[in-house]
Amino acid sequence: MGMVSKLYLIIGCLSIIKGSPLLLFANRKDVRIVDGNNSRGNSTVVAGNLEDAAAVDFLYEDRSVFFTDVSQEMIKRTWFNGSEITVNVITTGLISPDGLAVDWLGKKIYWTDSETKRIEVANLDGSYRKVLYWNDLDQPRAIALDPLNGYMYWTDWGETPKIERAGMDGTHAHRSVIIKENIHWPNGLTLDYEDSQIYWADAKNAFIHSCKFDGSDRRVVVEGELPHPFALTLYDRTLYWTDWKERSIYSCDKITGSNRRVILRDIYSPMDIHSFSARRQPKDTNENACDQHNGGCSHLCLMSPAHPFYTCACPTGIKLKLDNKTCNEGIKLKLDNKTCNEGYEQLLLLARRTDLRRISLDTPDYTDVVLELTNVQHAIAIDFDPVDNQVYWTDDEVHAIWRANIDGTGQEKVIDNHLMHPDGIAVDWIGRNLYWTDTGTDRIEVSRLNGTSRRVLIAEDLEEPRAITLDPISGYMYWTDWGKKPKIERANMDGSGRLALVNASLGWPNGIAVDHAEMKIYWGDASLDKIEVANYDGTGRRVLVNENLPHLFGFSLLGDYIYWTDWQRRSIERVNKRSGIDRKTIVDQLPDLMGLKAVNLVKIEGNIFSLG
């Protein structure tokens, strides 16, 4: 009989013993369960051979356990029905998933990440993942749900320690700080559904306190004598908690703090804890709003504190339509291994040295999502073919040009010989050709999109050719050169008719973009720290931005905005292309930012030629 089937028997037996909960706890190298009276004197492994299991929760209904492994940066699920199955639920875009909670009514998982500084939600299988909160989060840790009332609660032990409450639907209307005084390292948090109370443990203040759901009526449960309380849970009148320093699980009366007992000692490293019981996941007397046809929602149906007590929501980066029920549809994108029909309208594609990412511009969270590619070693330049929805990028380490579908599938090398430093790339989406610059060979070359019919277009008088962009409608290509005599040049797309448009007051012109409709060229200079604009012929030159541009690198134009990456600020920003104002940071504190391409995916008939 396997370990898990044995456990199944234990659960079977204990579920008939009243007043004796099972305690589920994460123990870094495994997840365990212990009888709350500890009548057997030891604990049993639920999931073993883990690297760093930190947070844990369960869905009693199907006896499944969810846990985070902060070292593997994953969320996993296991069942103890005798099958010994463990599946990966979330495998990308996590750094330090410290808190986890299961919505047993809506069938969702919620989690915190203290490094990405986000609170997210997904279906139990990891699909339809969405960022719910991303502002004013510093070090979010424990998270607890009250799906009966549509609220979630979390602790934040960052610069301004606090406990917050917000709607489980991610709307901002119901978010508020409920505890901000006398709080330092709020670790664990648990809810008492019977008495409508919150309990939390503060490791610095060495206490466990409680209050009402709105933060009022704060009380002391245990104070000033706890070495390092971490997580806590409730069952009936009993409070259970883990202590890091003592490496033990304790219990006491939830109101008086009396009857203190040690449940289990000499634990490897006790982390999160839950009493594993149906009573900790009470059912609503009424049917919940999401039960009937998913609330009419095309994707996520999330519990909400306000009438009609649910909200339809879309996976990260996808807009909800005006009916407030259906998500935008578009090209097929693979999201976390699940193929979906959701549609993005506007995206940023980002080359980030060892990966490529996409950032939706449709929703305000601007979450960056890594494309599932292999062997990205030093990606520099990036462009997009709006006809086949393919991403093209150069790699300075592998000395190759690659392409892949926008969902990361179909990755293939397009050019892999006679390349030294291909630092600029441009797709001719009309002629179906690929253009690139090479600062090593000092050439500009062209080939078909699949790499055949390769040809050198310009090989003379190039010092350090960098950015390249095309206006296939006018038949021009534009490029920058940051050599000893920096310049911006133009030629016909076959290399003829070469002309220096700008040859004065340039340093390192790193980025270039053209605006066919307004007949303008824009460029960014990483030495003079400026973004400038001029007419197509180089006349009418003027400065758009000359502040806080320490090292501009990637550069792209879409609609009314210029987008750029900055090495030093580790940011992606945008500014209005006409006024140079309305500046906004899209992404902050992301290192190794290289090329950037802003893309419009909405294909209106006849509009394709204005893309790119």
Ligand X SMILES: *[C@@H]1O[C@H](CO)[C@@H](O)[C@H](O)[C@H]1NC(C)=O
Using CB under 6 A, which of the segments 82-90, 242-250, 387-395, 576-584 binds ligand X? 82-90
Give the integer Cα–Cα distance in Å for 551 and 594: 11
**Per-residue tokens: 551:** 């090292």
User: Whose Cβ is closer to ligand X: residue 39's or residue 286's?
Assistant: 39
Q: CA 428: distance to chain centroid? A: 32
Residue 44 or 304 having the CB closest to ligand X: 44
Q: Which stretch binds ligand X (CB under 6 A): 79-87, 137-145, 374-382, 393-401?
A: 79-87
Pick the binder of ligand X from 15, 72, 81, 474 (CB under 6 A). Answer: 81
Stretch that binds ligand X, among 12-20, 102-110, 393-401, 409-417 (CB under 6 A): 12-20
19 binds ligand X per the rule CB under 6 A: yes
Binder of ligand X out of 1, 12, 16, 42 (CB under 6 A): 42
79 binds ligand X (CB under 6 A): yes
Of residues 91-130, those binding ligand X (CB under 6 A): none
Nearest residue to 481 (alpha-carbon basis) of 489, 470, 472: 489
Phi, psi dihedral angles at 296 (to 5 degrees): 80, 5
Q: How far is 277 from 272, CA to CA, in rounded Å?
A: 16
Q: Which two tokens mark 29?
A: 């190298």
Query: Nearest Cα to 514, choosing from 546, 549, 555?
Result: 555
Q: Is 280 helix (H, G, I), strand (E, B) or coil?
A: helix
Shortest separation between residue 323's beta carbon and ligand X, angstroms: 5
What is the residue type of 27? N
Q: Which is nearer to ligand X, 290 or 379 (by Cβ)?
A: 290
Check residue 39 for interaction with ligand X (CB under 6 A): yes
At closest approach, how far in Å is the CB of 489 from ligand X? 10
Residue 344 CA to residue 410 CA, distance in Å, equals 20
State how far the Cα of 605 lies from the Cα of 93, in Å rounded to an integer: 35
Nearer to ligand X, 19 or 227 (CB): 19
Q: What is the distance between the alpha carbons of residues 245 and 247, in angstroms, rounded to a whole number?
A: 5
Please tell me whether residue 82 binds ligand X under the rule CB under 6 A.
yes
Q: Which amino acid is at 588?
A: D
| Nearest to ligand X of 45, 177 (CB atom) | 45
Q: Residues near 496 by Cβ (< 8 Å), separated by ≥ 6?
A: none
**Binding map of ligand X across residues 415-434, x = CB under 6 A, - = no contact:** -----------------x--
Q: Is 326 in the site for ligand X (CB under 6 A)?
A: no
The answer to whether 252 touches 240, Cβ cutoff 8 Å, is no
Site map 439..468 versus ligand X, x via CB under 6 A: ---------x-x-x----------------
CA–CA dist 585, 595 (Å, integer): 16
> In the beta sheet, which residues pair with residue 259?
none
The two tokens of residue 402 are 């690659």
DSSP code for 515: E
Would you give the binding string for ligand X spanning residues 502-541, x where CB under 6 A is met?
Answer: -x--------------------------------------
Residue 575 structure tokens: 């500014």
Asked whether position 324 contacts ligand X by CB under 6 A, the answer is yes
Least separation in angstroms between residue 44's CB and ligand X is 4
**Cis peptide bond upstream of 21, omega within 30:** no
Closer residue to ligand X in complex, CB, 14/144: 14
Q: Is residue 83 at the binding interface for ligand X, with CB under 6 A as the rule?
A: yes
Q: How many other CB atoms sit within 10 Å of the CB of residue 601?
A: 20
Rounded CA gap, 13 and 352, in Å? Answer: 54
CB nearer to ligand X: pick between 507 and 559:
507
Q: Exactly one of 9, 51, 61, 85 binds ligand X (CB under 6 A); which one?
A: 85
For position 5 contacting ligand X by CB under 6 A, the verdict is no
Q: How many residues touch ligand X (CB under 6 A)?
A: 23
* Site string (476-505) toward ligand X, x via CB under 6 A: ------------------------x--x--
Among the listed residues 114, 117, 143, 159, the one whose alpha carbon sits nearest the alpha carbon of residue 231: 143
Distance CA 463, CA 440 (A): 9
Contacting residue, 159, 225, 266, 323, with ligand X by CB under 6 A: 323
Interface ranges with ligand X (CB under 6 A):
10, 17, 19-20, 37, 39-40, 42, 44, 62, 79, 81-83, 85, 323-324, 432, 448, 450, 452, 500, 503
